[in-house]
Amino acid sequence: MFASVLSAAIAGMEVLPVSVEADVSDGLPSFTMVGLPSTQVREAQDRVRTALRNNGIGLPPKRITVNLAPSDLKKEGPGFDLPVAAAVLAASGILSPESLKGVLLAGEVSLSGEIHAINGILPMVIRARELGCRYCMIPRGNLREARLIQGISVIGAGNLEEMITFLREPGAFRCSDGEEEEEIQTPETADFLEIHGQETVRRAVEIAVSGFHNLLLAGPPGTGKTMIARRIPTIMPELTFEEGLELTKIYSIAGLLSRESPFIRRRPFRSPHHSCSPQALAGGGRNPRPGEITLAHRGVLFLDEMPEFSGRSLEILRQPLEDKVIHISRVYGNYVFPANFILCAAMNPCPCGYYPDMNRCRCTAGEVNRYLGKISQPLLDRIDLCADVPPVSFSQLRGGCTGESSEKMRGRVEAAREIQKQRYEKESICFNGELSGQQVETYCRTDQEGEELLKMAFGKMRFSARAFHRILKVSRTIADMEGSEIIRSRHVGEALSYRAFEKNYWS
């Protein structure tokens, strides 16, 4: 007897439908799985057979063959346990094959018959809705996550007995976890009010967030670079529902969602250690999963002690910083992951941290050059603002001198972003930092004095074409923050000041 049920496989950020087919026929008793299953998927035959036996269901002593179609797609993960169990039960005559039509199943089955939560349920439910499925049956532990999607019924089963009960008599089934997700509000602890002094750096951060520009903070140890970076998300506008759903999908695939409150409500801040491998940064594995670059999508990727990262890890950033996506090629296909983030990096100017203060710096010229040389010029060209973070004075630390709150700074950021939203409503971009070369010529018009200043700076500082365009983009953001349609010389001058610091060290 033959039966089939729909499931799904995750390939990068895509969800591909998989038909789980089962056939029970006469012959020597066996359980065979075909269709390019991984070792993890192939183990489902032992888990399913043992789980059914422990629940009082004995499979007939016949030849059981399970096929996962299409056969040219590599299947990985424990999520195929539940559809394999349902297909085998239907092919054995215990369930009706008709009850499995138009249904998507996914879940891991334990030896006792319990159904455990798996990663990637949210995009699977979205795909099931697109395919026109009647409903999805998933682990009860994934129910809160799946119910974020409207327009399709979702059933959460805690064990095989509940799955069988529902498929036999859908009207008699009652799911024990029918609670709606409650929004959990966690207090915001970080605030720019806690930053003493550093007005210039605050200004650079506000410009970077307003135009979605990349930022480099450089200065001696203990000047507050990490504190400032960790407060960047607090001045970013709140996520829209669409952005939150997109992030929730990414984190669902990565297995980083909270079971209690699965919806992502805050912009991500990812801070990988400098020992992070290139694969962990970009996303890797035989079946690639999101890396730190993708987990920082719509938020901030913070690289503390940037020169301590390996050269391969840093150079990986070059392509996603330009394209806002990252492409990964593997034997079984090519994968595209979103990577639209603000890069914020922090570094000391030399190994000891005190260059160019020669009264405190003990590094030789060669040591300083080797240290700074770990960051290539092509990568520097992709950083819009380089801000100096000087030591804080005693009076600033003890005088009770605090700056503006994150809430007040966020108000100005939202006003600047609203100007950009209206300007680019007919374009495929949202921020000044995303302008292409041709769009820079269209939208970054300067007055005569600003043009002369740009010409003089280009001749003296020898910028590359990419760095020159980024200066114009930052100038456009500064002008927007003042409500000026024309980029004036003062806007250009301030933008140049954030590139002049870079030339002081890497000249």
**Burial (Cβ within 10 Å: 0-12, 13-18, ≥19) of residue 136:** buried
Two tokens, residue 489: 């010389």
Q: Is 57's pLDDT higher than 50? A: yes
Q: How much is the mean pLDDT over the chain?
A: 91
Q: Which amino acid belongs to residue 476? A: R
Q: Tell me the chain's radius of gyration from C-alpha atoms.
A: 28
Alpha-carbon gap, residue 231 to 208, rounded angstroms? 13
Question: pLDDT digit string (tens) for 266-291?
Answer: 999 999 999 999 999 998 777 789 99
Domain ranges of the chain: 2-172, 214-383
The lowest-confidence range among 43-52, 69-78, 247-256, 392-401 is: 392-401
Which secondary structure element, helix H or strand E, spans residue 413, and what is its range? helix 406-423
Which pLDDT belongs to residue 389? 92
Do the domains at 2-172 and 214-383 have one common CATH topology?
A: no
Instruction: With a cut of 80, say whether residue 446 has pLDDT above it.
Output: yes
Q: What is the pLDDT of residue 396?
A: 80
pLDDT of residue 176: 45
**CATH entry 3.40.50.300 includes domain 214-383:** yes
Arithmetic mean of pLDDT, 401-422: 91
506: pLDDT strictly greater than 90? no
Are the C-beta atoms of 36 and 70 separated by less than 8 Å? no
Q: What is the pLDDT of residues 164-196, one digit of tens each?
A: 999 988 766 655 444 454 555 555 678 898 888
pLDDT at 427: 92
- Which pLDDT band holds residue 60 (cuts at 50, 70, 90)? confident
Higher pLDDT, 463 or 434: 434
Does 2-172 carry CATH code 3.20.10.10? Answer: no
| pLDDT tens sequence across 95-150 | 999 999 999 999 999 999 999 999 999 999 999 999 999 999 999 999 999 999 99
Respond yes or no on whether the N-terminal peptide bond of residue 220 is cis (omega within 30° of 0).
no
Task: Determine if the pTM surpasses 0.95.
Answer: no
For position 177, what pLDDT does the model report? 45
In a 10 Å sphere around its CB, with 0-12 CB exposed, 13-18 middle and 19+ buried, how is residue 459 labelled?
exposed
Residue 293 CA to residue 360 CA, distance in Å, equals 36
Token readout for 147 is: 């119910």
Q: Which amino acid is at 477?
A: T
Q: Write out pLDDT tens, residues 337-381.
A: 999 999 999 999 899 988 888 888 889 989 988 999 999 989 999
Token pair in block for residue 171:
């009207």
**Residues above pLDDT 90, as percent of the chain:** 75
Task: Assign 425 a pLDDT band (cuts: 50, 70, 90).
Answer: very high
Count of beta carbons in the 10 Å neighbourhood of residue 437: 10
59 pLDDT band, cuts 50/70/90, is confident
